[in-house]
């Protein structure tokens, strides 16, 4: 009797093999995807970093304007002038009046480096005087006649300062006016010279103004600063449009604008105010 062998369950075996192969494919695919994802992420991160590096300098350049970009040209000049000035208005008044005995200040201006108009005129007069003098006096080896006068009573050329300077006009008791230049950094008197071409009538008018001005320039400056907070850069004793004797005071405020305040030279009251917005 012949016994046939039971056939093996080939279908079950085949399915098992297929599942094993499928599992291997899943593992391999996952590994590939993970590797690709990491590479892709690294590339993306590197690209973003590169783009950011290029963008940052551009943003910095466009958002960092100059601190003085909002100031006008006149405001920038005032700021630069006052930043380099060390001698105050009050100190300049005292120095100017001390340069000519018994004198009173009638005008004072803070100016930038270089010769003032008055100094240029004085130097020209000095040059003319030197060229007109006899050759024997001007060419002495000692050079004593060429040295500037200690009191500045005669015109003499003086080198310009390298920094700001106060240019003052003071008047003696008889009304004779003198120009005094003061280094606004060191306080040193650079030049003192008597103004040329003054006649008796002009001297008399100047002496009369000084007598009427019971308010000192320092008092007028204080009144002006109480009205417009800032730094005084100029005072001038003169008649206003209504023929009233006033101290015209220029004050530079914290925003570097300039305010002109007129102070009655007798009563000390404010008679006018004008703001220069440039």
Q: Give the model confidence (pLDDT) of 129-140 as tens digits.
A: 333 334 443 334
Q: Are residues 268 and 220 in contact, defined by beta-carbon separation less than 8 angstroms?
A: yes
- Which residues of the chain have a pLDDT value below 70? 1-69, 114-161
Please give the pLDDT value at position 42. Answer: 47
pLDDT at 277: 80
The dihedral sign for the CA sequence 160, 166, 172, 177: positive
Order the strands of the 258-264 sheet from edge to edge. 189-194, 177-183, 165-171, 104-111, 231-239, 245-252, 258-264, 270-276
Residue 134 pLDDT: 40
Write the burial class of residue 47 (CB in 10 Å: 0-12 exposed, 13-18 middle, 19+ buried).
exposed
Dihedral (C-alpha) 14, 18, 21, 23: value to the nearest 10 degrees? -130
Q: Is the pTM of this model over 0.75?
A: no
pLDDT for res 273: 95
- What is the per-residue pLDDT for 25? 53
What local confidence, expressed as pLDDT, does residue 203 receive?
96
User: What region, left, alpha or beta, does residue 129 occupy, with left being phi > 0 and alpha being psi -120 to 50 degrees?
Assistant: alpha
Burial of 222: CB neighbours in 10 Å, binned 0-12, 13-18, 19+: middle
């Amino acid at each position: 009797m012949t016994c046939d062998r039971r056939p093996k369950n080939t279908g079950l075996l085949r399915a098992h093999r297929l599942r094993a192969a499928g599992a291997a494919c899943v593992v391999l695919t996952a590994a590939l995807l993970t590797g690709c994802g990491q590479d892709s992420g690294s590339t993306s991160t590197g690209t973003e970093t590169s783009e950011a590096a290029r963008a940052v300098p551009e943003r910095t350049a466009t958002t960092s304007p100059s601190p003085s970009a909002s100031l006008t040209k006149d405001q920038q000049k005032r700021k630069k002038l006052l930043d380099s000035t060390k001698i105050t208005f009050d100190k300049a008044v005292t120095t100017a009046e001390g340069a000519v005995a018994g004198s009173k200040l009638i005008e004072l201006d803070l100016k930038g480096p270089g010769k003032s108009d008055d100094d240029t005129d004085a130097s020209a007069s000095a040059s003319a005087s030197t060229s007109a003098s006899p050759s024997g006096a001007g060419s002495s080896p000692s050079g004593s006649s060429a040295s500037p006068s200690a009191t500045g009573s005669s015109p003499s050329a003086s080198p310009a300062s390298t920094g700001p300077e106060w240019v003052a006009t003071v008047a003696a008791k008889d009304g004779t006016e003198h120009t005094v230049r003061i280094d606004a950094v060191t306080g040193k008197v650079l030049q003192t010279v008597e103004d040329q071409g003054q006649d008796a009538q002009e001297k008399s008018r100047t002496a009369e103004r000084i007598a009427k001005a019971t308010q000192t320039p320092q008092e007028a400056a204080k009144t002006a600063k109480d009205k417009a907070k800032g730094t005084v850069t100029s005072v001038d004793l003169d008649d206003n449009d209504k023929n009233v004797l006033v101290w015209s005071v220029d004050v530079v405020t914290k925003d570097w604008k300039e305010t002109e305040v007129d102070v009655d030279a007798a009563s000390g009251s404010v008679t006018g105010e004008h703001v220069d917005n440039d």
